[in-house]
A and B are shown apart, each in its own frame.
Chain A
Amino acid sequence: MKYSKLYFLGILLTFLVSTGVKVKAQDKDLLDLVDTDKPKKEVVKNAFKSIRVINGHSMEFLSPGTMDFRILHRFGQINIPNTFAGFDQASMRIGLDFGLTRYLQFGFGRSTFKKEYDGYLKLAPLRQSTGHHAFPATIAFVGGITLNSLPYADPTIQNYFSSRLAYYGQVIIGRKFSEGITLQVTPTIVHNNLVPLANQPNDIYAVGFGGRLKMNKRTAFTWDYFYVVNGLQKDANNVPLNYNPLSIGVDIETGGHVFQLHLSNSAGMNERAFITETTGNWEKFDVRFGFNLSRIFQISHKK
């Protein structure tokens, strides 16, 4: 009898403890019972508001199935008198960019400057991501071509179509460090099939440094600088003819559009033009006001 009493007590104790635990378990999160999945891989988005930092390509990609209609303007140099701070002149580029997949994008455009056409393909083998198989940075490659369509400078000689062409290749290594800070480095090579002078290199190397500081949800401060390693030209008196392009600006997102307003010493709006033909000197304030206007259209629908 004594033994069975003990047994009884034991069961009673187990019962009390187990109901106690149960009551506690009910207070606990029911969701924990089923929400056991590991976080999925997720590509980090909105490193930049736009696919261009200002002039150069950014680490950002268009969403698949969207088209970016971009209108770019560069006005005249602010420091030229009687031009209403340069607004009397304008040079522009009109372009379309398409997002194919999250890792592939292409685009083309035409600029007033040299009546130049340009096109590119941008591919990201790795994009910055979180979760399973996370990766800390985006690594992307850009290959582009430009076509100068001005009349031949000297029609009396034999001209070749290939002399109108230039190519560029670029690696974009970028990281969105936080919601507020994104930085990227873009080693670039520009190849001109034809250069005006024999002492000018055909291959020009440059390294771009771009970034943004997000100020609030809809505005960001951006900068875009290219250090040209070997292509800066000087005249006979050793006066520089071209400079490293530097642009600083503000991105404003209005919902439907992204406006990129900036000051730049460059008038060119494709890689060949702004890396090899930037003539303004920031020290003399040879800068221009410019803006990029971007509007994204959904061209393929999932449903």
Chain B
Amino acid sequence: MKCPILLVAALSIVTVSNAQKFFTKTGKISFDATAPKSPENIDGVNKNSICVIDSKTGDIQFSVLMKGFEFERALMMEHFNENYVESDKFNKTTFKGTITNNESINYSKDGVYPAKVKGKLDMHGQSKDLETEGKITVKAGKVMVAASFVAQFDDFKIVIPQLVADKVAKAAKIIVDCTLDPLAK
């Protein structure tokens, strides 16, 4: 009769560690596509990015509503949505990947851990493999994710018209800054 009890115990341990997921719905993801000849800064920030990490498997996923990007100039926001990323057609950009060095990150111990991430970025109807390095900071039960990478517009079929070709960069630097809370489930 001891065996079943042990099994139940083992099962519950597995369940507990599996449930260790972190998430946010207010992550900050910004981009910068300013070219040397740009008459003004071309940048936007989305403060409602969704990010989920499964600390057990190292899975990391992001989802960003394109219409949620805020700009200093309303016209730039309109052009961004209508002409460049076509938000009505492709409303979300997602990234689905894994932290390849997940075993070296202790999500229950405060500290700063370098993280390598590999996955797929889906934007503007195009999918592209992406690999980047970032930083995961564990502090007081929260997980902070910081990373940056460059997305070439060509790869995502985002067309910069000839007329403004020297005023917009050919790629955007994307900066990720998210603070994740434990997911209670």
Chain A residues with CB under 8 Å of chain B are: 4, 7-8, 11-12, 14-15, 18-19, 22, 26, 29-31, 33-35, 37, 42, 45-46, 63-66, 99, 179, 217-218, 253-255, 296, 298, 301-303
Chain B residues with CB under 8 A of A33? 21, 23, 52, 183, 185
Chain B residues with CB under 8 Å of chain A are: 1, 3-4, 7-8, 11, 14, 18, 21, 23, 25, 50, 52-54, 57, 59, 61, 63, 67, 70, 72-75, 77-79, 81-83, 88-89, 94, 96, 161, 163-164, 167, 183, 185
* Secondary structure type dominating chain B contacts: mixed
Chain A residues with CB under 8 A of B63? 31, 35
- In the bound assembly, the distance between CA atoms of A11 and B96 in angstroms comes to 34
How many pairs of residues, A versus B, come closer than 8 Å at their CB atoms? 84
With A11-B4, A45-B82 in contact, do A35 and B54 touch (Cβ < 8 Å)? no
With A11-B4, A33-B183, A63-B75 in contact, do A26 and B54 touch (Cβ < 8 Å)? yes
Chain A residues with CB under 8 A of B59? 26, 30
> Whole-angstrom distance from the CB of A43 to the nearest CB of chain B?
10
Asked whether, in the complex, the Cβ of B61 is within 8 Å of the Cβ of A29, the reply is yes
- In the bound assembly, the distance between CA atoms of A219 and B87 in angstroms comes to 18
Asked whether, in the complex, the Cβ of A31 is within 8 Å of the Cβ of B161, the reply is no
Asked whether, in the complex, the Cβ of B11 is within 8 Å of the Cβ of A8, the reply is no
16 A/B residue pairs, CB under 8 Å, sorted by A: A12-B7, A18-B11, A34-B50, A35-B63, A37-B25, A45-B78, A45-B82, A63-B78, A64-B74, A179-B88, A179-B89, A217-B83, A218-B161, A255-B163, A298-B74, A298-B75
Asked whether, in the complex, the Cβ of A255 is within 8 Å of the Cβ of B79, the reply is yes
Residue in contact with A7 in the complex, picked from B4, B70, B79, CB distance below 8 Å: B4
With A46-B82, A217-B82 in contact, do A31 and B67 touch (Cβ < 8 Å)? no
Q: Known A-B contacts: A19-B14, A34-B23, A34-B52. Give 6 more (CB < 8 A).
A: A12-B7, A29-B61, A30-B54, A298-B73, A298-B75, A301-B72
What residue in chain B is nearest A176 (Cβ atoms)? B88
> Whole-angstrom distance from the CB of A48 to the nearest CB of chain B?
12
- In the bound assembly, the distance between CA atoms of A301 and B67 in angstroms comes to 19
Chain A residues with CB under 8 A of B88? 179
- In the bound assembly, the distance between CA atoms of A217 and B86 in angstroms comes to 9
